[in-house]
Amino acid sequence: MPTPRFRVALIMALAVALSLACNAFAPGSGSPPPAPATIGPTIPAASTQPVVTPHGPAPSPTSPPARSATTESTAPGATPAVPPLDQGDVLPRLAAGQPLTLTVIDMLTLSEGWAIGSAPGDPNDHVLRTTDGGLTWRDVSPPEPVAATASSRAAVGEFRDGLTGWVTYFARDVSTEAAALVWRTSDGGATWLPGRPLDMSDMEFFATSDLYFASATNGWLMAHVGAGMNHDYVVVFASADGGQTWTRVVDPFEVAEDVLQQSCLKTGLVFLNTTTGWATGDCQGVAPGLFFQRSHDGGRTWRQQDLPAPAQQLDAFERQDGGCGTYNLVAFPPSEVLVAVTCIRYAETLQVRHFLYASADGGATWTSSPLPARDYAWLDRMTGWAIDPADPNNPDALRRLYQTTDGGQTWPEINTMAWSAQLDFVDPANGWALARAGEETALVQSANGGASWALLEPESGP
């Protein structure tokens, strides 16, 4: 089941970095759960992928991160020799009975699923597994190297089924001092194998936002490595052997017509198959048009993917008083793709409109329809949910939850709540949400398609 990857805080932090040309950001570990009185059966869902801290000098407004003299001889895309990793201390497992704050959840069945989260007083992310519907979670984290004097570790994961998954960590202060590894498991987290350390040479900072596998062997990782005036410098690594080895296929130092555009905020990376994928982004109104880049060769070369203007706003991509961005692309192999387009107009009051773009032929042609909210979750190509984000001008405003059963043509409202969340459904009735109200988070569950929600209090298990 395709599951959206929620990186909202990292994306917003990078947006600030681009506008200020001076900061870089990385996800954090979340907040204590709200009290049951705060998160009740009438709260909406929001996506949370936490926190950010500035690190290091900012790149210049027009230049990528400085290339060091020690790596000038390394050809673009090549994997340099890496000394053996000295693991030292590794991430300790959580003791049973601790309350948990989850930041990512991926349920597979009514009882079984994966999550990333942390316990009180522990600054590091942990990889978690449940077999009782989310009440208790066993820590199955890989033996990620940690040091007492180093920054805490944030995790990004990709889980194909109950046995197979990949996880990578990076320093929460987005430094490049620690080696970046991609861990893989084929036994539900009982054992993990590390891939070859990623080539992190010449990077100002390092913050992974996307880890995606289109098959058991072909995967991609995107990390943000520099920021300048309306520039979000990224590297993309690709693996064709299940995550054992990784090659840079996008490098901010490359200058050519067919490389991934380094200007504008990058909001996601998804591949439909082993060759065809898209990078989504938002130029923050600096230039008209859309950032929507497509690759046909596994990420090595990229071209702009043009979308038709929405019928409801024919000048949306051409206006000078706003801008549009692409978000939350979801792929349904072998040929169907969905992507959200958000357009902002700076008038007396900020005007925001969302559109759902769909392709049934692998991205050759696209149709659009109105979308009530940009944050959504899909069970299949026809069934999905969307939820209002928090209103920065009115944090106490209720959020609306919508559901579609016709592929996004209509979105009836099914609930109003006091929170936003990451949504995750395993069938039309049963789903979970990582709910956020202000700085508090909680895990809630629905058995009637989102019409009502019950609070869960997850804890670590043996």
The distance from CA 123 to its chain's CA centroid, rounded to whole angstroms, is 20
- Most distant CA pair in the chain: distance in Å? 60
Is the pLDDT confidence value at 10 over 50?
Answer: no
pLDDT tens-place string over residues 244-264: 999 999 998 888 889 999 999
Residue 82 lies in a domain: no
Task: Report the pLDDT value the prediction gives residue 100, as an integer from 0 to 100.
Answer: 97
- Alpha carbon distance 273, 132 (integer Å): 33
pLDDT-derived band of residue 286, with 50, 70 and 90 as boundaries? confident
Is the pLDDT confidence value at 1 over 50?
Answer: no
Is the pLDDT confidence value at 43 over 60?
Answer: no
- Alpha carbon distance 21, 234 (integer Å): 15
Q: Looking up tokens 């579609």, which residue turns up?
A: 404
Residue 369 lies in a domain: yes
Residue pair 225/17 in contact (Cβ under 8 Å)? The answer is no
Tell me the range of 23-37, 282-296, 442-456 where mean pLDDT is highest: 442-456
Beta strands across the sheet bearing 101-107: 101-107, 113-118, 126-130, 136-139, 459-461
Q: Picking from 20-24, 80-84, 241-245, 290-294, which range would have the lowest pLDDT averaged per residue?
A: 20-24
Rounded mean pLDDT of 84-107?
86
Is the pLDDT confidence value at 71 over 90?
Answer: no
Count CB atoms within 10 A of the CB of residue 86: 7
Residue 332 lies in a domain: yes
Residue 451 lies in a domain: yes
pLDDT tens-place string over residues 370-411: 999 999 999 999 999 999 988 877 878 899 999 999 999 999
Q: Looking up tokens 């049963």, which residue turns up?
A: 430
Beta bridge partners of 68: none
Q: Could you give the C-alpha distances from 372 to 133, 331, 400, 445, 456, in angstroms and in order?
A: 29, 20, 9, 22, 28
Is the pLDDT confidence value at 61 over 60?
Answer: no
Enclosing domain of residue 334: 8-66+102-461
State the amino acid at position 123 in one-letter form: P
Residue 208 lies in a domain: yes
Residue 80 lies in a domain: no
- Alpha carbon distance 240, 136 (integer Å): 35
Residue 377 lies in a domain: yes
Give the start-end residues of each E strand in 186-321.
Answer: 193-194, 207-213, 219-228, 231-239, 247-250, 265-271, 277-282, 292-295, 303-304
Residue pair 30/436 in contact (Cβ under 8 Å)? The answer is no
Task: Render 64-109 in DSSP notation, one character per residue.
Answer: PSPPPGGGTTSPTT-----PPP---SBPPPPPTT-B-EEEEEEE-S
- Residue 403's domain is classified under what CATH number? 2.130.10.120
Task: Render 176-193 in DSSP notation, one character per residue.
Answer: S-SPP-EEEESSTTSS-E
Global confidence as pTM: 0.82
pLDDT tens-place string over residues 162-196: 999 999 999 998 888 778 999 999 999 999 999 99
Residue 91 lies in a domain: no
- Alpha carbon distance 352, 195 (integer Å): 42
Task: Report the pLDDT value the prediction gives residue 37, as an integer from 0 to 100.
Answer: 33
**H-run or E-run covering 11:** helix 8-20
Closest CA to 135 of 459, 441, 453: 459
- Alpha carbon distance 253, 201 (integer Å): 12
Task: Report the pLDDT value the prediction gives residue 325, as an integer from 0 to 100.
Answer: 94
In the chain, DSSP finds a helix count (H) and a strand count (E) of: 1, 29
Residue pair 134/107 in contact (Cβ under 8 Å)? The answer is yes
| Number of structural domains in the chain | 1
Helix (H, G, I), strand (E, B) or coil at 146: coil
More confident residue, 66 or 94: 94
